[in-house]
Structure 1
Amino acid sequence: MIDTQPPSTDPSLTEPGCTVAAARIVRRFHETAEWQRIIDEVLELLARSLGCHRAILFRLRELPGEEFTQSIAAYWDDEAVVAGANRPRVILQSVVNSDPLLTRLSAEVRQGKMFAGRTREIDGFLRQDFEGQRIKAFLSVTIFANGNLWGTLAVNDCTVERRWTEEEKAATEIVAMAIGAAIERSLSDAHVSEIIRQTMLQSSLDAIIVIDETASIVEFNPAAERMYGFRRADILGKDMIETIVPHFYRKGYTTGAGYMAGRGAPMIGQRMETVTQTAAGEIFPIELTVTEMHVAERRFFFGSIRDLREKRRAEEEINRQRERLHQNEKMAAMGSLLAGVSHELNNPLAVVVAQSTLLHEFAPDQQTKLRAEKVRAAAERCGRIVKSFLGMVRLHPTVPAETDLNSAVRGALEVTAYGVRSSGVAINTEFADGPMPVLADADHITQVAANFLVNSQHALAAQNGERRITVKTFRVSDGIVGFSVEDTGPGIPEAIRHRIFDSYFTTKPVGVGTGIGLSISKAIIERHKGSIRFEEVVPNGARFIVELPAFAGRRANVVQQEARSTGLRNALIIDDEPDVAASLSDILELMGIKSRVITAWGSAEEALAGYNPDIVFSDLRMPEASGITILRKLTALRPDIGRRFVLVTGDMVGARAEIGALAPHERPLVLEKPFSTLDVRSALAAINDQTQLAH
């Protein structure tokens, strides 16, 4: 073989020297458990130290169906020099058998002989392949692992035809032996165990921190980096007490070693819950397990740490949900109780209202009329209070309807009046003139106002000096109306104002508040497309304001309408309470309508036998049959009665679901107990309109 020009002496290509590079490579293999992770940088370092432009790790093995094969296990090249050149080709045994040079080289490789030279001095398959790769000079060294041929390590110079020096050959052989040794270690049980350990350490979802007997941190896995916010490179070697131990545990200890001796020892071998501290100073709960290890006459402490923040949040959420379920169960039970109570109360109240109304109509003198009006007003107020209580505790979806905002707020005042008065709190009211219609669920709006009033009452309970609540309704513009509840209490600290509408946030003592009133109120108002906000009152106090879209429609003024006599001469009244039925009959007679009263339901045939009613009033709940069942039985005989049917009930909230289950064209008119003359007159006017439209 003929030498041409010497190898390049450019320092950028030869530094570090090949011997130094080989030493570094050997050290890197000893420090690394998995040689595959560093093989690319090893090939680059070797090639650059030799002034070469390509380094390849070939794998020699038998593949199923292809006999002996040379393939590429790792590859590096200098793109700036060999861009566009071919890559090394996979060489099959069939190619080796057909090429004399390859056949000879195959035998020499098994003997561990080095293959070095210049491309122009060889021929056959390899020359063609090397020229395609732009190889000028080549050096290839055999790699053995566990006494068996594993592969070869090759380096190429793609710019200069060169002779390889003994130092270069020796450096390449050292690297080949280091690769072989690394491969042998990777195949050993101990190495497999080490890889498993490293993988577990790196992939563990729990933070793993290892400290030595001086409490210096010697291991800090990726989960620990994420949990604590420290970079591994920055925290290794740091004292545990200065980094992850909370500041209040550091008192009395100057070093982590003292901490471990004084407080840490009882932790060893136990699973315990404690707290720790992040890089940002955040204290958070953890589950800690500490194990002591002895390695090379040194003590190490292996800590496995599980972040309990998510678990605690989940537990708190479960407790909140449990409390919410408990509250809902209590509200549902109270709703069921009040439903029964309201039914029992509204029946006698209906009699009182009806009879006081009749007494007012027929009273011979003004004084009697005045007394009858007071009785009627008191009875109607009792009915409104029962209805408001029932609407607040019965769980039902929002049912928007045209509602007078003034009436909804007055309902809240009536519900909370006793508690406010008994607490010695004064109430001031300022209601806007005239009706304030909104499209809303009256029960839900009343509930919001009642929540504000109860909160104000609680805020004033321990207040000295003036104790006053001011309730206002107002018009913001033609399209917006609203109401406010203001008190002279201590107000709400600025630091917690942003949380007052959060679920289960409360400043009240245990047993006084649940923290759901304002959050529910906010949800209700937002469902009604309104807004709710808090304002500070100067010099002290709190004001809650609700604004809602005004309803553009206008309520039909049926109160002033007299029942048209056409077609409304006879009424059928079905009610198991004789006094209620008689009172309704008396009111109808006052309006010129005769009635047949049935207090025990038998059948539709019996009810209509010899009688042709123009309007039917039926109680919703009776022992023999419900009002809806009676409606169906009557319409089976007379289909037109569906337009002339009035359902009478003292539990409108409970009746919503039953009435809502009917098809829209089947839903009857509803008359709520206790009813007044005006309520009955409105029902008659509505039925009269329906029958006329049908004709």
Structure 2
Amino acid sequence: MSTIAPPADLSADSPLPPGGEQAWIEVIQKMDEVYNDLLQYEVALEEKNAALEESHQFIESVLASMSDILIVCDRNGGIEEVNSSLQHFSGKTAGELEHTPVFDLFADDIERAKARDIFARYGREGVHDCEFFLRAGDGSTVPVSMNCTPRLSQTGKLMGMVVTGRPVGELRRAYSALRQAHDDLKRTQGQLLHAEKMVSLGRLVAGVAHELNNPISFVLGNVLSLKRYASRLESYLGAVHASDAAEDGALQAMRQELRIDRILADMPHLIDGMIEGAERTRDIVDALKRFSAVDKMTPEQVSLNEVVERSVRWVVQSAAANFTVNTKISPNLKCSGSSGQLQQVIMNLVQNACDATASQREPALIVSGDIEDGMVILRFADNGPGISEEHLGRLFEPFFTTKPVGQGTGLGLSISYSIVERHGGRLSAHNLPGGGAEFILALPVESC
């Protein structure tokens, strides 16, 4: 701190000023007052300098700790001051950035022209959350959400502007991660809901299959016994007709009246038909048992030909009478997996085709299958109106459906997609050039 020297002492030999001793005393008093005032002003100035220095250091620490970009410009767009975030972003020092145009920070001429136009039009009012592309220090183009606030003097004159910006790449990545987590949560909820439904359905189907299995086994066993008995009766009646009693006119008349010969001829066909029906019923019961175990991923050799034939038959039986399904599948297409799960997938695809073609005069579905490029490929091509472009990318999302409320849960294709993935395959869909949609189910050959 600088000091002010007190007024010099005047010796007794010094001449008195005009007016005598009283005037001299007043002069000394005035000089003391001025000296005291100067001391007070110096102390106050030192205190203000210390406060100003502290404020300056505080502002610098705040600017240095800001993660957002900060740029102070003059009225012509020249950079006057920047913070450390911009230096880190641009890869340049504060000295290299100062006195350069702020528009040099933008990615290209298009972005620079856009920034000049927006800052010129809205500079007085301020620019809020306007996205620009800036050139980072590594040469990459980074989207930045920028704000611009005018810097005015005490008289309201425009002195420049303060520009702040926040790179939105991190925000977009965070939003993408959040959306992925939300989608995963929805998918998990859908799978849990489906699993609970399938457990209940599995118990119901298993119970029905068990109840049907006993009478069908009883009927099949009795029919097989009846077939053996009919063969014996036929041999006996043949011997009777060949005997001398066959010459009896009354017996011959009764034989013709009761149409014994026709009965004997029809009986093998009737019994064979009963056996075939019982065996088919037994196969259906067996398929129901397999379907009831849909959540048990027990690998087994699955005949895709049988699964497709069974799935198509089950859906067509409950569909409209004019819905036709043509199958063109190569023989002996087999893979390792769960027969019940794959049947669920194929039934969903056939049922979706049935629903999609309901408005057509002659609704039809063509199911074809072959081995292509090391994959077993099953194609389901319908003659419906096709799938709209905005829906194509969302077909396999949980709970997404284009059906009216109450007619679809939006889980069928999502669950089918998950099942196919667990089998190491893929499920996709697209529109056919001639109209209609086609779903493609692909399973790896090496698992076959």
TM-score, structure 1 normalization: 0.38
The count of corresponding residues between Structure 1 and Structure 2 is 338
The SS at the match of 2:434 is: coil
Match of 2:133 among 272, 278, 283: 278
1:545-601 alpha-carbon deviations (Å, 9 max, x no partner): 52542778xxxxxxxxxxxxxxxxxxxxxxxxxxxxxxxxxxxxxxxxxxxxxxxxx
Matched, 1:362 2:225: yes
Structure 1 residue 341 displacement after superposition: 0.9
Mapped to 1, the partners of 2:113 and 2:271 lie a distance apart of: 81
1:32-87 alpha-carbon deviations (Å, 9 max, x no partner): xxxxxxxxxxxxxxxxxxxxxxxxxxxxxxxxxxxxxxxxxxxxxxxxxxxxxxxx
Structure 1 residue 320 displacement after superposition: 0.7
Say if 1:246 and 1:277, in contact at 8 Å, map to a contact too. Answer: no
Where do 1:530-679 residues align within 5 Å?
537-541=432-436, 542-549=438-445
Match of 1:343 among 180, 188, 206: 206
Match of 2:380 in 1: 485
Match of 2:365 in 1: 469
Classify 1:375/1:400 alpha carbon distance in 2 versus 1 (closer, same or farther; 3 Å). closer
Mapped to 2, the partners of 1:369 and 1:412 lie a distance apart of: 25
Classify 1:482/1:257 alpha carbon distance in 2 versus 1 (closer, same or farther; 3 Å). closer
Match of 1:399 in 2: 298
Structure 1 residue 331 displacement after superposition: 1.1
Where do 1:17-416 residues align within 5 Å?
189=54, 192-193=57-58, 195-201=60-66, 204=67, 206-208=68-70, 236-237=102-103, 255-256=118-119, 258-259=121-122, 276-278=131-133, 298=159, 300-301=161-162, 303=164, 305=166, 307=168, 308-363=171-226, 364=230, 365-366=267-268, 367-371=270-274, 373-378=276-281, 380-381=283-284, 384-385=287-288, 387-388=290-291, 390-392=292-294, 394=295, 396=296, 398-414=297-313, 416=315
Match of 2:249 in 1: none
Structure 1 residue 486 displacement after superposition: 2.1
Mapped to 2, the partners of 1:461 and 1:399 lie a distance apart of: 36
Match of 2:414 in 1: 516
Structure 1 residue 523 displacement after superposition: 1.7
Match of 2:238 in 1: none
The SS at the match of 1:358 is: helix
Say if 2:125 and 2:149, in contact at 8 Å, map to a contact too. Answer: no
Mapped to 2, the partners of 1:502 and 1:227 lie a distance apart of: 41
Classify 1:427/1:244 alpha carbon distance in 2 versus 1 (closer, same or farther; 3 Å). same
Match of 1:432 in 2: 330
Classify 1:368/1:329 alpha carbon distance in 2 versus 1 (closer, same or farther; 3 Å). same
Structure 1 residue 236 displacement after superposition: 0.4
Structure 1 residue 315 displacement after superposition: 2.8
1:291-310 alpha-carbon deviations (Å, 9 max, x no partner): 88666764745646463312
Whichever residue aligns with residue 312 of structure 1, its letter is Y
For structure 2, the 5+ residue unaligned runs are 3-49, 136-140, 231-266
Mapped to 2, the partners of 1:275 and 1:510 lie a distance apart of: 41
1:303-332 alpha-carbon deviations (Å, 9 max, x no partner): 464633123213312321221122022112
Say if 1:275 and 1:283, in contact at 8 Å, map to a contact too. Answer: no
The SS at the match of 1:483 is: strand
Matched, 1:444 2:341: yes
- Name the one with the larger helix percent: 2
Classify 1:387/1:468 alpha carbon distance in 2 versus 1 (closer, same or farther; 3 Å). same
Mapped to 2, the partners of 1:525 and 1:539 lie a distance apart of: 31
The SS at the match of 1:430 is: strand
Mapped to 2, the partners of 1:330 and 1:371 lie a distance apart of: 41
The SS at the match of 1:429 is: strand
Structure 1 residue 259 displacement after superposition: 3.1
Say if 2:130 and 2:147, in contact at 8 Å, map to a contact too. Answer: no
Mapped to 2, the partners of 1:385 and 1:285 lie a distance apart of: 59
Structure 1 residue 275 displacement after superposition: 6.3
Structure 1 residue 449 displacement after superposition: 2.7
Where do 1:2-21 residues align within 5 Å?
none
Say if 1:473 and 1:484, in contact at 8 Å, map to a contact too. Answer: yes
Say if 1:211 and 1:218, in contact at 8 Å, map to a contact too. Answer: yes
Mapped to 1, the partners of 2:401 and 2:75 lie a distance apart of: 47
Structure 1 residue 347 displacement after superposition: 2.0
Mapped to 1, the partners of 2:435 and 2:280 lie a distance apart of: 37
Say if 2:133 and 2:144, in contact at 8 Å, map to a contact too. Answer: no
Mapped to 2, the partners of 1:335 and 1:408 lie a distance apart of: 19
- Highest relative contact order (Cα 8 Å, sep 6+), 1 or 2? 2
Mapped to 1, the partners of 2:351 and 2:83 lie a distance apart of: 54
Structure 1 residue 333 displacement after superposition: 1.3
Structure 1 residue 454 displacement after superposition: 4.3
Whichever residue aligns with residue 374 of structure 1, its letter is G
Whichever residue aligns with residue 446 of structure 1, its letter is Q
Mapped to 2, the partners of 1:246 and 1:472 lie a distance apart of: 57
The SS at the match of 1:324 is: helix
Mapped to 2, the partners of 1:508 and 1:225 lie a distance apart of: 52
Classify 1:291/1:426 alpha carbon distance in 2 versus 1 (closer, same or farther; 3 Å). same
Say if 2:367 and 2:380, in contact at 8 Å, map to a contact too. Answer: yes
Structure 1 residue 533 displacement after superposition: 6.4
Whichever residue aligns with residue 236 of structure 1, its letter is V
Structure 1 residue 532 displacement after superposition: 6.1
Whichever residue aligns with residue 440 of structure 1, its letter is G
Structure 1 residue 278 displacement after superposition: 2.9
Structure 1 residue 544 displacement after superposition: 1.4
Whichever residue aligns with residue 418 of structure 2, its letter is I
Say if 1:209 and 1:221, in contact at 8 Å, map to a contact too. Answer: yes
Please, what is the CA RMSD of the aligned residues? 5.3
Say if 1:284 and 1:309, in contact at 8 Å, map to a contact too. Answer: no
Whichever residue aligns with residue 540 of structure 1, its letter is G
Classify 1:275/1:400 alpha carbon distance in 2 versus 1 (closer, same or farther; 3 Å). farther
Mapped to 1, the partners of 2:172 and 2:447 lie a distance apart of: 48
The SS at the match of 1:399 is: coil
Mapped to 2, the partners of 1:220 and 1:504 lie a distance apart of: 49
Match of 1:611 in 2: none
Whichever residue aligns with residue 426 of structure 1, its letter is T
Classify 1:535/1:313 alpha carbon distance in 2 versus 1 (closer, same or farther; 3 Å). closer
